[in-house]
Structure 1
């Protein structure tokens, strides 16, 4: 037990070791849960996870407050995986067309590779602004895109454009289209056809927005050249 000696409480070494052990176990078991979802699907029981990691269910629960806290840690791990795939694509290297395709492809490729994790995130259930982890992730991507759009426009002499709203709309459109596609048992488009459709649609929105601002650009123009204009 921690004892006070002259003011500051002393740290119980046993408590610290337990906290470290608990944190390490949480990491290992969340990783195991992610692997279980990848293999068997988004719906799984705690008993199934306990069997996988080789401990009684009661022991598993001692390391998590409740099922909701376990789900939140798993969802956070999945979101981290998704963002590791997305963040490097938001730099807009190459031409406008290449930049659009890179961002769209990163989203679609991750979903195609991890459809069960995507389903577990419950993407379609969380709209931007609802305060959930998934919604906050979509909002963060939209804000990063909006910031980059704004930097390019400012380099072209356009300031104060409502580009953040456009970025939110683009993210929402791509996210909804991919979500519908991955859930559809009778897909009307192949993965490559969906990729092409999304890229063309995103460019159409960007092109229309730019023209309304008095800017005409070719999708073959390099973003770096625009920023030096």
Structure 2
């Protein structure tokens, strides 16, 4: 390591550039793994990835501590992709009905577009619980929904309500239903029919919760018309 005139150590620029190169290469390899799963299915093999990127397995593994590390990075990338789809839907623009359709539709459409990535989350040694989306992602969505539901209740002059539990239940119901649908070889519902059923069910839960609190709203109610939203 080079020394400054005053005796303080100076970082070698070549070392920094090499670290940046390795980090970028790791990102590229994870991207290649995700693309391979999208194309060929959830039975992902490191040897196949090595062939795809033109590297020996031994060289490929220099970028990752072990297979578990690679799997975790792939899972993170999948979750990031899912959350990028979901986050813009949490604004609750338009009517209540439109807001529900937007959130449910985003969840279902992402899974329908990326069934192999979704399946990868529940295969063998890569399994994440019940094969649904990673628990942290579902918790994040439930938290965002709970905050928005809470804002609406405050605007309606309501005090404390178990709205966070309702949000968790809604997210769990939608994800479980979608998880079963995407894995079912003989689907009883089309994607559009499933979306409509889920939206009706979510509204039924919200409506029942609001009525228990003494509030009646139409699904055609514009969220922006509610004071404070």
Answer yes or no: same fold by TM over 0.5. yes
Return the alpha-carbon distance in structure 1 between the equivalents of residues 128 and 73 of structure 2.
Answer: 18
Structure 1 residue runs without a partner (length 5+):
128-132
Matched, 1:95 2:95: yes
Give a deviation string over 1:34-60, Cα, whole Å, max 9, x none: 110000111211110010001111111
Matched, 1:33 2:37: no
CA deviation after TM superposition for structure 1 residue 31, in Å: 0.9
Return the alpha-carbon distance in structure 2 between the equivalents of residues 180 and 2 of structure 1.
Answer: 59
Which stretch shows the higher mean deviation, 141-150 or 73-82? 73-82
After superposition, the Cα gap between the structure-2 partners of 1:177 and 1:27, relative to the gap in structure 1 and judged at 3 Å, is: same
Return the alpha-carbon distance in structure 1 between the equivalents of residues 99 and 167 of structure 2.
Answer: 14
CA deviation after TM superposition for structure 1 residue 4, in Å: 9.2
CA deviation after TM superposition for structure 1 residue 12, in Å: 3.1
Match of 1:155 in 2: 155
Question: TM-score, normalised on structure 2?
Answer: 0.92
Matched, 1:84 2:84: yes
Local SS of the residue matching 2:25 = helix
CA contact (8 A) 2:3 2:9 kept: yes
CA contact (8 A) 2:128 2:134 kept: no
After superposition, the Cα gap between the structure-2 partners of 1:163 and 1:5, relative to the gap in structure 1 and judged at 3 Å, is: farther
Runs of 4+ in 1 over 6 A off after TM superposition: 2-7
CA deviation after TM superposition for structure 1 residue 122, in Å: 3.1
Aligned 1:1-229 pairs, distance under 5 A: 1=1, 8-122=8-122, 125-126=128-129, 134-228=134-228
Structure 2 residue runs without a partner (length 5+):
none
After superposition, the Cα gap between the structure-2 partners of 1:3 and 1:68, relative to the gap in structure 1 and judged at 3 Å, is: farther
Considering only aligned residues, what root-mean-square deviation do their CA atoms show, in Å? 2.0
Local SS of the residue matching 2:16 = helix
CA deviation after TM superposition for structure 1 residue 9, in Å: 3.6
Return the alpha-carbon distance in structure 2 between the equivalents of residues 64 and 148 of structure 1.
Answer: 39
Return the alpha-carbon distance in structure 2 between the equivalents of residues 125 and 22 of structure 1.
Answer: 28
